[in-house]
Amino acid sequence: MTENRPVKVKPYAHLMACPSCDWLHLKEPLSPRDKAKCARCGEVMYTYRPHTVDKALAATIASVIFLLSSLFMPFLTLSRSGVNSSISLLDAAWSLVFSEIALLGVFVMFLIVLIPLLRLGLLAFVLMVLKTGGTASLAVKRAFRWATVLEPWAMADVFLIGVVVSLIKISELANLDIGPAFWSWIGLIVATIIIGITLSKDTLWQQLDQT
């Protein structure tokens, strides 16, 4: 004899408010690449991309590789009066931590190294669970939620702008040779942009709720 267990049903799962103007809509299924827009203000409320897991996972793995490569390989080499000095991003961050501007070094370590690596790791974990058909437990959903929260704090592009400005100023004092880590950082930014283009958070949440 089977025991009848109550099924938890979200009473308002079929409704969705516009994130811009709070206009309430009936949530309807979408075809691939379709977008649901608000009937009042035209804001995109949710999308559906069936292959978002495969594309975003590939871009995420590439981002992790680029990030780790840029941390340990030489970022640039300074040469002046016959003396050459190479430095990596990790060396630069640690040197700031143990200097008179330690607070700046801590911010650099968190915003450039730890937070991007944590976000990419969480995102890769969630996408691998969905790719392999695993169960979307509460831990998986929390990991994706934290990956979304940390997204604005991963400032690879902002850091690159600061680096370019610094290189222009330093080039007047010494000869500069750009190392492989610089190009890995460029690759990281490109891969991050691809993640933003291919990743559909709405589609991922829908798949997490179904598994």
User: Could you read off the pLDDT of 83-110 as tens digits, one per residue?
Assistant: 666 777 777 777 777 777 778 778 878 8
Domains of the chain, earliest start first: 1-48 (no CATH), 50-210 (1.20.140)
User: Could you read off the pLDDT of 117-161 as tens digits, one per residue?
Assistant: 999 999 999 999 988 887 778 888 899 999 999 888 877 777 777
Q: What is the residue whose two structure tokens read 């509460």?
A: 138
| Angle, helices 89-97/52-72, rounded to nearest 10 degrees | 60
CA distances (Å), origin 169, targets 93, 98, 160, 177: 19, 24, 14, 14
Q: What is the residue whose two structure tokens read 């370019």?
A: 164
- What pLDDT sits at residue 7? 44
> H helices within the chain, ranges in order?
52-72, 89-97, 102-108, 115-131, 138-150, 156-170, 180-198, 201-210
Measure the CA–CA gap between 183 and 69, rounded to whole angstroms. 10
Higher pLDDT, 91 or 81: 91
Q: Which residues, other chains included, contact 26 with Cβ-Cβ below 8 Å and sequence gap of 6+?
A: 14, 15, 16
